[in-house]
């Protein structure tokens, strides 16, 4: 019975709605790609990830996985951030062959500034949408995330 009512719901969704939804996701993905290809954005993402990392920091490979980029990209990024004074490389006390990356004091300040800027961007979005639409968008995005999470591996 449930399958029949689900099929009726699918039949009520017209092709234009499906196409509009697909196009919206494509536009969001393009904006995400534009943002993540920007060096400053990559630095900002790394700063925030390192700000929330354990006290001993992260290995380059760990940061690479968390940012969904290659290790060579992260190595170049870390070199640049080290030149800026935002990060420090430290040997792992348990295994001297392992190098970990931690934020310096100025790196922590930069990460906090990035986090505040990110918060302000979403505050502006919420003000633009208004409280009801903001709650609705949040609800729909979380529901969308749950849907895609349930489809992993299918």
Q: Does the pLDDT value for residue 18 go beyond 90?
A: no
Mean local confidence (pLDDT), 29-57: 82
Confidence of residue 26 (pLDDT cuts 50, 70, 90): confident
In terms of pLDDT, which residue wins out, 16 or 103?
103
| Whether 6 and 44 share a structural domain | no
User: Pick from 71, 73, 6: which is nearest to 36 by CA?
Assistant: 73
Mean local confidence (pLDDT), 40-61: 92
| Whether 71 and 142 share a structural domain | yes
| Whether 94 and 60 share a structural domain | yes
Question: What pLDDT, on a 0 to 100 scale, did the predictor assign at position 127?
Answer: 96
Confidence of residue 134 (pLDDT cuts 50, 70, 90): very high
| Whether 48 and 89 share a structural domain | yes
Q: Please write the tens of the pLDDT for every residue from 79-122.
A: 999 999 999 999 988 888 899 999 999 999 999 999 998 888 88
Beta-carbon contacts of residue 13 (< 8 Å; ≥ 6 apart) = none
Nearest 5 degrees, angle CA 138-CA 143-CA 145? 95
| Whether 100 and 66 share a structural domain | yes
Q: Give the whole-angstrom CA distance, residue 105 versus residue 2.
A: 57
Distances, alpha carbon 143 to alpha carbons 13, 92, 125, 133, 149, in Å: 18, 40, 19, 15, 10
| Whether 30 and 90 share a structural domain | no
**Number of structural domains in the chain:** 2
| Whether 33 and 44 share a structural domain | no
Per the CB < 8 A criterion, the answer to whether 64 and 46 are in contact is no
Question: What pLDDT, on a 0 to 100 scale, did the predictor assign at position 149?
Answer: 86
| Host domain of residue 12 | 1-37
User: Pick from 37, 69, 47: which is nearest to 117 by CA?
Assistant: 47
Mean local confidence (pLDDT), 38-53: 87
Nearest 5 degrees, angle CA 71-CA 148-CA 114? 50
Q: Mean pLDDT in the chain?
A: 86
Q: Which two tokens stand for residue 102?
A: 């931690």
| Whether 33 and 43 share a structural domain | no
| Whether 47 and 19 share a structural domain | no
Residue 133's SS3 state is helix
Question: What pLDDT, on a 0 to 100 scale, did the predictor assign at position 30?
Answer: 77
| Whether 142 and 105 share a structural domain | yes
| Whether 114 and 102 share a structural domain | yes
Q: Does the pLDDT value for residue 69 go beyond 80?
A: yes
Token pair 């060579």: residue? 72
Question: What pLDDT, on a 0 to 100 scale, did the predictor assign at position 8?
Answer: 59
Residue 131's SS3 state is helix
Phi, psi of 91 (to 5 degrees): -75, 140
């Amino acid at each position: 019975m449930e399958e029949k009512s689900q099929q009726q719901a699918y039949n009520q969704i017209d092709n234009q709605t499906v196409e509009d939804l697909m196009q919206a996701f494509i536009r969001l993905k393009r904006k995400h790609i534009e943002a993540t290809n920007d060096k400053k954005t990559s630095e900002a993402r790394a700063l925030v990830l390192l700000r929330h990392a354990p006290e001993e920091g992260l290995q380059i490979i760990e940061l690479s996985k968390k940012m969904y980029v290659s290790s060579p990209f992260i190595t170049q990024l870390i070199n640049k951030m080290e030149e800026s004074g935002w990060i420090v490389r430290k040997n792992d006390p348990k295994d001297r062959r392992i190098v970990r990356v931690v934020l310096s004091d100025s790196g922590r300040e930069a990460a906090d500034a990035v986090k505040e800027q990110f918060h302000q961007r979403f505050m502006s979005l919420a003000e633009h949408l208004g409280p009801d639409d903001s709650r609705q968008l949040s609800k729909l995005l979380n529901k969308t995330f749950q849907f895609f999470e349930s489809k992993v591996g299918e």
